Amino acid sequence: MTGMSQDKAITLSVDAMGGDQGPEIVAEGLKRFLQADPAASVLLHGPRQRLEPLLAQSGFGDRLQLVHAPDAVAMTDKPSHVMRHGKSTSMWSAIEAVRERRAGACVSCGNTGALMAVAMLRLRKVEGVNRPAIAALWPSRNPQGFNVMLDAGADIRADQDDLLAYAMMGASYARNGLGLERPRIGLLNVGTEEHKGRAELKVAGELIARAAERGAFDYVGFIEGGDIPSDRVDVVVTDGFTGNVALKTGEGTATLISGLLREALMKTALSKLAALLATGSLKRLKTRIDPRQVNGGVFLGLNGTVVKSHGSADATGVAAAMALAARLARSDFSDRLAGRMATIATMQPDAGEEVRA
């Protein structure tokens, strides 16, 4: 997605367990990633006896190191349970390597709630952030091919200050993850007119507009659901409830249309021939909107970068999440974001006064 150099050596911390399809898929994605990125190394966390057979003769030498963790977090485990009893899990171990700066970013396919809970507990929130957020990539009309949306579901609530923090963090992510110098930010609402929507959105809009200069982004104002994949914005800011529903609605719509298109093309002899002739074009389109290519929700607002890969990701998806984590590790994204957020703290008193006035 960006032309950043792959020469810089980085290390990722990868949780081998917790994906729907077991560590085999993670190992397969890992091999593809390491082949494509010769300057990257990986610490792989999980039960040694389970992982060793998968990686025998993988030939990556020092670039791949096993870190033994006997237990795994299940998709059904409650976050609070994992926080209290999860020290021996591969997820915990993978986060710990980022905390101790043995790795520049962490990747996990596991339970999102547990991953966020352990990450908040061990990495701690960055100053100026009350609620961390998950940033998702969305296929779009923009030259970079993707827009950023946050919060995609870390927290079901967000007040005006949280939305301001999301704007700052989203801008920082778009700069370091997508290579956009001055991202355009929109605030998701039910209409673009200034008087529309919830009260906290009006206040958030004013706060974000005022933060634009300091945050090095442009604020385009309210946007609607139809603008999420458009080229009007690069970053979409919303609360985690709305963001999660929008993300899944978009995926569901894309799945419906692809399915109906496939059925339509398989219906008659003529359309089957057409599908055959158009194979190359349809494949390029599929790649363009394939959710696997944009796999990886990035946790924003913590002292350390964590990338959540889809639980159902295949090897292509896992490799894409690792490539995203590597890009963020190379740009020292986490430290840059923390620096940017520190400026919010100094803005806050002013902003509060003006809103009250």
* DSSP for 42-58, written as a single string: EEEEE-HHHHHHHHTT-
How far apart are the C-alpha atoms of 227 and 171, rounded to whole Å?
17
Beta carbon of residue 91, minimum distance to a copy of itself (angstroms, whole number): 19
| Contact call for residue 86 and a copy of itself (CB under 8 A) | no
| Contact positions with a copy of itself (CB under 8 A) in 123-152 | 139-141
Which of 3, 53, 61, 226 is in the footprint of a copy of itself by CB under 8 A?
226
Q: Report helix, strand or coil for 41.
A: strand
Beta-carbon contacts of residue 237 (< 8 Å; ≥ 6 apart): 150, 163, 166, 167, 170, 185, 186, 187, 188, 204, 208
Which of 36, 39, 260, 345 is in the footprint of a copy of itself by CB under 8 A?
260
Q: Which is nearer to a copy of itself, 36 or 256 (CB)?
A: 256
| Contact call for residue 288 and a copy of itself (CB under 8 A) | yes
Which of 252, 335, 346, 352 is in the footprint of a copy of itself by CB under 8 A?
252
Which of 100, 267, 342, 350 is in the footprint of a copy of itself by CB under 8 A?
267
Q: Which is nearer to a copy of itself, 2 or 249 (CB)?
A: 249
How far apart are the C-alpha atoms of 321 and 92, rounded to whole Å?
19
CB 2 within 8 A of CB 178: yes
Window contacting a copy of itself (CB under 8 A); options: 5-13, 53-61, 224-232, 334-342: 224-232
| Contact call for residue 156 and a copy of itself (CB under 8 A) | yes
| Contact call for residue 281 and a copy of itself (CB under 8 A) | yes
Find, among 330, 156, 144, the residue nearest to 240 by Cα.
156
CB 120 within 8 A of CB 98: no
Tell me which DSSP letter residue 8 carries. Answer: S
Beta carbon of residue 230, minimum distance to a copy of itself (angstroms, whole number): 7
| Contact call for residue 342 and a copy of itself (CB under 8 A) | no
| Contact call for residue 245 and a copy of itself (CB under 8 A) | yes
The CA-to-CA distance between both ends of the chain, in Å, stands at 44
Tell me which DSSP letter residue 222 carries. Answer: E
Beta carbon of residue 253, minimum distance to a copy of itself (angstroms, whole number): 4
| Contact call for residue 247 and a copy of itself (CB under 8 A) | yes
CB 338 within 8 A of CB 126: yes
CB 5 within 8 A of CB 291: no
| Contact call for residue 172 and a copy of itself (CB under 8 A) | no
Q: Which amino acid is at 252?
A: G
- Site for a copy of itself, rule CB under 8 A: 139-141, 153, 156, 188, 190, 197-198, 224-230, 238, 240-242, 244-261, 264-265, 267-268, 270-271, 273-278, 280-282, 284-285, 288-289
